[in-house]
Amino acid sequence: MSYSTKQREILLEFFNSNHDKSFTAQEIAEKTSSKGISQSAIYRNIAALEKSGKLRKTTKKGSHTAYYQYVDEDCENHVHISCTKCGKTEHLTSNDESQLIKNVLKNSSFELNTNETILYGICKDCKK
Ligand SMILES: [Zn+2]
Ligand SMILES: [Zn+2]
């Protein structure tokens, strides 16, 4: 396994075991630093993984900081909802809900790209 492949593996492993959370690039760097990945390799890999659809980028309210979260196979063709306070992102699990949103757009000339669609809201934990 080449050095750069190894770095990507480490990152993917990190995201995979934290697939319900989102992190800034800075946090990812801190949490994986013990595994010997350089900062620049992390940023490079994040960009590549986002481009290939393995990571989803979200932002929180009032901040331009990007948060990244792993996109697993279950994510495909689901609309996601992201908490503007903590950045937690989930997909709408029932296809009906995604369907509902598609129906809303039925009379418009647009077709929804579910993989790219993120709704923003406040999660249960942050509402307390
Ligand atoms: Zn998902
Ligand atoms: Zn929240």
In degrees and rounded to multiples of 5, residue 59 shows phi and psi of -130, 160
For the domain spanning 3-127, the CATH number is: 1.10.10.10
Quote the ligand 2 centre to 60 CA distance (angstroms).
10
More confident residue, 126 or 117: 126
Residue pointed to by tokens 């620049």: 40
Q: Tokens for 32, please give them.
A: 């994986």
Nearest ligand, measured from the Cα of 123: 2
| pLDDT digit string, tens, across residues 102-122 | 788 888 888 888 877 888 999
**What is the pLDDT at residue 25?**
92
| pLDDT digit string, tens, across residues 11-70 | 988 988 887 788 999 999 999 888 888 888 899 999 999 998 889 888 888 888 899 988
Query: What is the reported pTM?
Result: 0.71
**What is the pLDDT at residue 29?**
92
Nearest ligand, measured from the Cα of 86: 2
CB atoms within 10 A of CB 27: 14
Provide the pLDDT confidence category of residue 1 given band limits of 50, 70 and 90. low
